[in-house]
Each structure stands twice: as C-alpha cells, then as structure tokens.
Amino acid sequence: MADLHIELPEKLIPVFEGPADVRGAYGGRGSAKTRSFATMVAVQGLRFGQAGVRGLVLCGRQFMNSLADSSLEECKRAIQDNPVLSAYYEIGDTFIRSKDRRIEFVFCGLDRNIESIKSKGRILLLWVDEAEPVTEQAWSIVVPTLREEGAGWNAELWVTWNPKRKGAPVEARWRDSNDPRVKVVQLNWRDNPRFPAMLDRARQRDLSERPELYDHVWEGAHATTLPGAYFAAGLVLAQQEGRIGVVPRDPLMQLRAHVDIGGTGARADAFAMWISQNVGHQVRVLDHYEAVGQTAEFHFAELRKRGYGPDVLSVYLPHDGSAQDKVHDTSYEKAFRDAGYAVTVVPNQGRGAARQRIDAVRRLMPAMWFNEATTAGGRAALGWYHEKRDEQRGIGLGPDHDWSSHSADAAGLLAITHEPPSSSWGKPLTYPKLGYA
C-alpha cells in the first residue's frame, strides 16, 4: 500500500497525536474542522483495519431524519480525495465499508436512536459532528458505550461543534477539560491554510453588514445575539463604543433594582433583576441576577450578599408585584417592604405594553453602560430576545416568550421608569465666596 499523506491545519496535529479518550475541535465557519475530522475518521478506520481489528465507526449527530442529515457525504468526499483511503474503502449510495469487511461506517441520530446505540456492536470510534445541541442525557448514554480496548488502543469519542450556548453540555464536558486524554482545540477560519477566497468575501461582508453575528459565525464565540433580536444592534454598538467593560458603582448615588417577578416551585418562571444607577447622562448597569423557583427570602439573601441592602437600593416591580404568591400567600411588594426596601409598583401599561418596553429599551440603549463581568447573563438574554414569526405568512407574532424574556422584561421596566437627568445638567455651577471669621 502506498504511503498515506494527510494535510491538516497545524493546530489539529497535536489533537491527533498520542493516546486519547476524546479528541475534538470547536470554532466558527470555514475552519476546515468538519472535513479534517471526516478525513481522520477514515484514517483511523484504516489503522484499525490494518491492525486486524474489526468493528464500527459510528458517525452521529443530534438530529438526523435521514442520511441526507448525516456526515455520510463529508466522509465520502474525504475518502475520495485521498488515493490510499479510496483504495481501502468501498463506497455506495448509502454505505461506507472497508473492502476487507473489517470496518463499517454507521450513521445515526442521537435524538431518536440513542438507546439503539447500545446494541450497535463493537464501536471503535464515535464521531459526533454538530455536537452543540447534544443533550446531557445523550452524552450519559453514549459515553459508556465506548468501552472497547486492545493492545495499544481504546475506543475514542471525537466531537466537533460550533459554539452557541455557553452552558451547552458539550462545552461543560469537553471544552476546558484538564484531563490529558481529552485533546480539544479551538479552530477558526484563520487556522485553515486553504481558506477559500470566496468564503473570505462572505466573511468580510458579514463583518461589515452583520457585525452582531460576526464573532459567533466566524470566530467561534458564543451567540450573544440572534438574527432579528430586538436589542442586537444596540448591544453591538455598546461594545464598539466601549460601553461594555469595567463600570464602577458610584457610592453617593442610589441604586435601583428593576424586577420581573417569577414564582416558587420547579416550573415557575424565572425571577430576573437588573441593578443600575443613573449618573448624569449615563445609565450604569452594574449587575444582573436571575433565579428560578426560589423564595423571596432567597432573593433578599442574594441581594445582601452582593451589597444591595435596603439602605442603598430602591426596588421597582411590575404591576403584578402586588399579587399574592400562590404558595406563600404574600405579594412581592409586601415581601420587599417587610425586608425594609423602598418599593414602587409600576402600573400596567395596557395593550401594547410589550412593544412599549422594547421601544423604551432601544431609546435608552445609547446611554447604557454595562459592567461586563456581572451582566453577561443578562446581556445574553437581551441579545437573544426576539420576535416570534409565522414564516408561512411572513408576519410577526410579538415577542417570543422563552428563557430570555424575563430579563428582557426587567430591562423594559428599567427603561420605562428611567428618569432623565436634570435640565440643569451640564450647566456651570456657581459657588458662594468663602469667608473666614
């Protein structure tokens, strides 16, 4: 057999060197990670076959309704582009297998076929492409199936993904692991020595015309904005203007908490809160807090821990802040007052209230300065908050009520209750002459 020659992005070479249990790469578009892993999957199958090992190379994705949704075509192209791999594998419309019948490729979706993976046979390698949406339940089933080992080898898990959610299970499990047998790197367009000129033109158009999406799509950053999100452009402008960074708390100014109330119990809506100060023309957004299913006492303890006691903080509640909680038979208004806080319940704005809050946040956004370290979760919610669409009719159905809407509603409360600076702001101050007796 002729010598096998494989070209990889330089950053991937250490990933495929030496023993490992997990190998992976994450990053943005154009990095060549999928094609590189498809090639190395075929190489690994060849190595097993040449060593006389029989078994399955399993290629999975979370969602796969048919082979058209699988990695089959990527694997085919990778094999066909290399004469040594082409000589070893037999390729059909729906299959890839080695000509010596030692290695067989199997393609499956983890959402529907997760239990059947246990009975797939001797799995030598599992490559999960587009792994960002894979659930923790799926990982907990998949990982224990990789238990084959022999002289100088063991079954391996390979993962490739484009980051989206910071808390995605694939991120928590593999991205920052300190285990030396977990070899995962970030790979982006600039790491691809064959990055196509046409793709680079698309990248530059996104940088110019869709800056709110650029870092996620091309640089492998977590998605902080969604296409069509109400506040995406405002957050991008805040970043560009340096209004997201270290924002100090003015010890002489009153703090304000704007709240979207949740409830108690596992299925309750989230309780979300923004802490801010009005300092001149600036709205200093100092902190964000969100919790699900906790009691009012839990929230008060968290406020005190962060230095937001009743002596420095005024609380603004939505109109339902005066409603009785179903579990504890009290209202948030009364609970906050009993804890010593000054409370304002903002009246119901009536029909079109959601639209009014959105417009108010958009108007206020140019004056908002965000403390980066403590508002990341809240800014992610603002960047995600978007309109629900009827794609067939091409119409908007109002804000989509999802995980982001509670923090967005609290920000809306902040905006509609914002007090502009005094009309004397910016005028010179006249001090009386000082006299001494």
> For the segment 137-193, what is each residue's pLDDT rounded down to a tens digit?
889 988 999 999 999 899 999 999 999 887 789 999 999 899 999 999 999 999 999
Q: Can you tell me the mean pLDDT for 230-246?
A: 89
Instruction: Assess whether pLDDT exceeds 90 at residue 205.
Output: yes
Distances in Å between the alpha carbon of 71 and those of 60, 64, 74, 75, 243?
8, 10, 5, 6, 42
Instruction: Assess whether pLDDT exceeds 50 at residue 431.
Output: no
Q: Reduced to 3 DSSP states, what percent helix, strand and coil does the chain have, rounded to the nearest 5?
A: 35, 25, 40
How high is the pLDDT of residue 99? 96
State whether the Cα torsion 243-244-246-249 is positive or negative: positive
- SS3 state at 231: coil
- Greater confidence (81 vs 430) lies with 81
Distances in Å between the alpha carbon of 378 and those of 139, 172, 285, 309, 383?
28, 20, 10, 21, 9
Lowest mean pLDDT across 118-127, 243-252, 253-262, 294-303: 118-127
**DSSP alpha helices (H): ranges in 143-228?**
169-170, 197-209, 211-219
DSSP character at residue 365: G
- Give pLDDT tens digits for 83-98: 999 999 999 999 999 9
Q: Can you tell me the mean pLDDT for 7-22?
A: 95
Sheet holding 255-260, edge to edge: 244-245, 368-371, 282-292, 270-279, 255-260, 313-317, 342-345
Band (pLDDT 50/70/90 cuts) for residue 325 is low
| Separation between Cα atoms, residue 36 and residue 24, nearest integer Å | 11
Instruction: Assess whether pLDDT exceeds 90 at residue 400.
Output: no
Q: Can you tell me the mean pLDDT for 212-230?
A: 81
| Separation between Cα atoms, residue 436 and residue 403, nearest integer Å | 63
Right CATH for 244-416 from 3.90.650.10, 3.30.420.280, 2.40.50.100, 3.30.565.10? 3.30.420.280
Distance of CA 402 to the CA centre of its chain: 14
pTM of the complete model: 0.63
The amino acid occupying position 57 is: V
Q: How many CA atoms, within 13 angstroms, populate the side-chain half-sphere of residue 127?
A: 27
Instruction: Assess whether pLDDT exceeds 70 at residue 264.
Output: no
Instruction: Assess whether pLDDT exceeds 70 at residue 350.
Output: yes
Band (pLDDT 50/70/90 cuts) for residue 64 is confident
How high is the pLDDT of residue 429? 40
Distance of CA 292 to the CA centre of its chain: 19
CATH topology identical between 10-191 and 244-416: no
Instruction: Assess whether pLDDT exceeds 80 at residue 433.
Output: no
Instruction: Assess whether pLDDT exceeds 50 at residue 202.
Output: yes
How high is the pLDDT of residue 423? 45
Decide the pairing of beta strands 153-154 and 255-260: unpaired
| Separation between Cα atoms, residue 221 and residue 381, nearest integer Å | 16
Instruction: Assess whether pLDDT exceeds 50 at residue 315.
Output: yes
Band (pLDDT 50/70/90 cuts) for residue 265 is low
Domain definitions of the chain by residue range? 10-191, 244-416
Average per-residue pLDDT for the chain: 87
User: Which neighbouring-strand residues pair with 149?
Assistant: 154
| Separation between Cα atoms, residue 417 and residue 170, nearest integer Å | 40
Closest listed residue to residue 170, CA positions, set 22, 67, 19, 70: 22
| Separation between Cα atoms, residue 54 and residue 191, nearest integer Å | 35
Percentage of the chain beyond pLDDT 70 is 87
Instruction: Assess whether pLDDT exceeds 50 at residue 426.
Output: no
Decide the pairing of beta strands 270-279 and 282-292: antiparallel
Decide the pairing of beta strands 153-154 and 149-150: antiparallel
What phi, psi does 218 have (nearest 5°)? -110, -25
| Separation between Cα atoms, residue 244 and residue 51, nearest integer Å | 55
Instruction: Assess whether pLDDT exceeds 90 at residue 14.
Output: yes
Right CATH for 10-191 from 3.30.230.10, 3.40.50.300, 3.40.1190.20, 3.50.50.60? 3.40.50.300
Band (pLDDT 50/70/90 cuts) for residue 424 is very low
How high is the pLDDT of residue 163? 93
Q: Can you tell me the mean pLDDT for 325-335?
A: 72
- Greater confidence (287 vs 384) lies with 287
The packing angle between helices 197-209 and 211-219, to 10°, is 140
Confirm if 316 and 413 have CB atoms less than 8 A apart.
Answer: yes
Distances in Å between the alpha carbon of 48 and those of 45, 98, 101, 160?
5, 11, 12, 22
| Separation between Cα atoms, residue 181 and residue 158, nearest integer Å | 12
Q: Can you tell me the mean pLDDT for 3-16?
A: 93
